[in-house]
Amino acid sequence: MDPQPFVRLSVGQLGLKLPGGNARKVVRLCHCEIRLGGFPVQTAPVPLIHSSEFNLDPFTNAAVFSLDEADLKALATPGWFRAPRPYLEIAVYLGWFGAHCGIAGRKRLVGMFRVEIGSEWREGKPVLLHHGWTGIGKGESRPELHLRVKLEADPRYIFQFDDEIALNPQVVQLHGSIRQPIFSCKFIRDRRRPSQIDPLGRQYWSSSGSEEQDMEMRRERKGWKVVIHDLSGSAVAAAFMATPFVPATGCDTVARSNPGAWLIVRADTTGSSESWQPWGRLEAWREAAPAVASKDTVRLRLNLLPERQDDCVLVSEVPLSSNKGGEFFIDLDRQAPAASLVAGAPAAEHCAVSLGAACAGSGFVMSCRVQGEAKSSRPLVQLAMQHVTCMEDAAMFVALAAAVDLSVKACRPFRRKAAKKSDSLSFDPLEADT
C-alpha cells in the first residue's frame, strides 16, 4: 500500500499578555480566528497570561489544517495570496464587559500576526515556522501573543467502499486516478427471529393486524454484522452490533440513555478465523435538533478496549447531521478527552492500534466521511500512515467506518405505521435479505 502525501499545519500553545492593567477588565477568555487561504476559518480560545510563569500544553493544538496534494499546488500558485508568499494569519479578539447589565459587548480586535509559509512542505521534514512571543497590535506597549506554528508531513492511506455496505462492496485504495482493490466487505443480518422483518423502519409494520406485543418486539434493529476480508478471502476484521438499536420509552428514536453499540474486532494473532480480538466499542444515538437547527444529529462515541485494563478509553465523540451525514474522526489534536483515564494515564497514550503503544501528541489517526440517513453512502476513509503497520490494522479501521455508516441508518426514527409504497420509491439495500 502506498500512502498519499499530506501536510499538517498546526497552531498551538496559544497565550496572550495584555499591557498594564487591561487584563483585569476582561471577564472571559479572548479568542482568535486562524485563517489560511482556501480553508474555512478556525476559531480557538486564547488563555490570558498574568505572570511570567506559565505552562502551555505542548501537545494540544488550537487549529489544524490538513493539506493534500491539490491544496499544496494551490498554495504554490502565484496570485493565490495577495502577498508574495503564502501565509497563515492569526487575528486576536477580546470580549469586553459592557455597560448593559453585565452583557458582554462586541468583540474587539487586539491585533493580527502573520506567519509566512515557504516551500518547506516539499521536503517532507518537520519545520517549526514560529515558536515564542510576538508583539501584536499598535503602540509602544503592545499585547504579546505566544504561539507555536508547525509544519510536518502527514502521509495517509485513502480507502473507499465501492458501494453501499449492505451490498457487500469491495474496498479500494485510492492513489491519484488508481483504484486498487484491497478488501471485500460482507454484510450479514441475523434473521433467525421471524419478527425481524425490516431493520430500518420503512414498511416496518405489517398491515395484517398483528398483536401489539409482537409489534413492540419488532421495534429494534439488531444482529447486523460487517466482516472485512483480505484478497485471499481471510476474515481480518469485523464490526458486530453488540447492543440493539431500540427506541426510548415513549418515543420513536434511539436515546443517549440507551445507545446502540458495535464491537470492533480484529483477527486473533493465532490466525484462527473463529477467534476475534476486541479493539473498540462504538456507541450511537439520536439527538433532537435545537430550536436554531432544522435537523437532528446522530452522535457517535468511540471507546478503546485496552488489553489488561478494566476501563475503556474515550478517544472520539462526534455529532453527524442525520440529514447530510458528515465526518467521524479520531484526532487527538482536534479533541483530547481529558476525563478518560486508564490507570492514571491520559487517553492519548492508548490511541495507537497496538493498544499499549504511546502516541501522545501524534494528532490525526483516522477519519471517515458518510452520507445522511436517507442517502446512498460509500464511506471514504483516511488513515494516518503511522498508525498502520499491517493490512489487519487498516482492515480494523475500515470495519469501524462501516459501523459508523450503519449507525447513522440504524438511528433513523422507528415508525408505528406501515409506509405506503409510493413513499419508498428508491430501493434501500438494508431492507432486503443479504
Q: Tell me, yes or no, whether 357 lies in a domain.
A: yes
Considering the domain architecture, whether residues 374 and 396 belong to the same structural domain is answered as yes
Considering the domain architecture, whether residues 131 and 180 belong to the same structural domain is answered as no
Q: Tell me, yes or no, whether 3 lies in a domain.
A: no
Q: Tell me, yes or no, whether 218 lies in a domain.
A: yes
Considering the domain architecture, whether residues 304 and 221 belong to the same structural domain is answered as yes
- Pick the last residue of a domain from 150, 169, 202: 150
Q: Tell me, yes or no, whether 423 lies in a domain.
A: yes
What pLDDT is attached to residue 216? 42
Considering the domain architecture, whether residues 289 and 391 belong to the same structural domain is answered as yes
Question: How far is C-alpha 429 from the geometric centre of its chain's CA atoms?
Answer: 26
What pLDDT is attached to residue 229? 96
| Domain total of the chain | 2
Considering the domain architecture, whether residues 143 and 162 belong to the same structural domain is answered as no
What pLDDT is attached to residue 284? 97
Q: What is the pLDDT along the chain (434 residues), one digit of tens a residue?
A: 889 989 889 999 999 988 875 555 544 568 999 999 888 999 999 988 876 667 777 777 889 998 888 887 877 777 665 666 788 999 999 865 443 433 445 788 999 999 988 777 666 678 999 999 999 988 778 899 999 999 988 999 999 999 999 999 999 999 888 999 999 999 998 755 433 333 333 322 222 334 333 344 457 899 999 999 999 999 999 999 999 999 998 888 999 999 999 999 998 765 555 678 899 999 999 998 776 556 889 999 999 987 655 567 888 999 999 999 999 999 877 654 443 333 333 444 444 444 334 344 467 899 999 999 988 899 999 999 988 988 999 999 999 999 999 999 999 998 755 444 444 445 566 654 33
Q: Tell me, yes or no, whether 48 lies in a domain.
A: yes
Considering the domain architecture, whether residues 146 and 169 belong to the same structural domain is answered as no
Q: Tell me, yes or no, whether 41 lies in a domain.
A: yes
Considering the domain architecture, whether residues 192 and 286 belong to the same structural domain is answered as yes
- Pick the last residue of a domain from 120, 150, 180: 150
Considering the domain architecture, whether residues 176 and 101 belong to the same structural domain is answered as no
Considering the domain architecture, whether residues 82 and 180 belong to the same structural domain is answered as no
What pLDDT is attached to residue 401? 97
Considering the domain architecture, whether residues 186 and 126 belong to the same structural domain is answered as no
What pLDDT is attached to residue 172? 97
What pLDDT is attached to residue 206? 28
Considering the domain architecture, whether residues 181 and 81 belong to the same structural domain is answered as no
What does pTM read for this prediction?
A: 0.78
Considering the domain architecture, whether residues 238 and 336 belong to the same structural domain is answered as yes
d(C-alpha 31, C-alpha 199), whole Å: 46
Q: Tell me, yes or no, whether 5 lies in a domain.
A: no
Instruction: Supply the CATH number for residue 107's domain.
Output: 2.60.40
Three-state helix/strand/coil letters over the chain = CCCECCEEEEEEEEEEECCCCHHHHECCCEEEEEEECCCCCEEEEECECCCCCCCCCCCCEEEEEEECHHHHHHHCCCCCCCCCCCEEEEEEEEEEECCCCCCEEEEEEEEEEEEECCCHHHHCCCEEEEEEEEECCCCCCCCEEEEEEEEEECCEEEEEECCCHHHCCEEEEEECCEEEEEEEEEEEECCCCCCCCCCCCCCCCCCCCCCHHHHHHCCCECCEEEEEEECCCCEEEEEEEEECECCCCCCCCCCCCCCEEEEEEEECCCCCCCCEEEEEEEEEEEECCCCCCCCCEEEEEEEECCCCCCCCEEEEEEEEECCCEEEEEEECCCCCCCCCEECCEEHHHHCCCCCCCCCCCCCEEEEEEECCCCCCCCCEEEEEHHHCCCHHHHHHHHHHHHHHHHHHHHCCCCCCCCCCHHHCCCCCHHHCCC
> In terms of residue numbers, what domain contains 264?
156-431
What pLDDT is attached to residue 410? 94
For the chain, the average pLDDT equals 78
49 closest CA partner among 150, 148, 131, 147: 147
- Pick the last residue of a domain from 150, 175, 201: 150
Q: Tell me, yes or no, whether 1 lies in a domain.
A: no
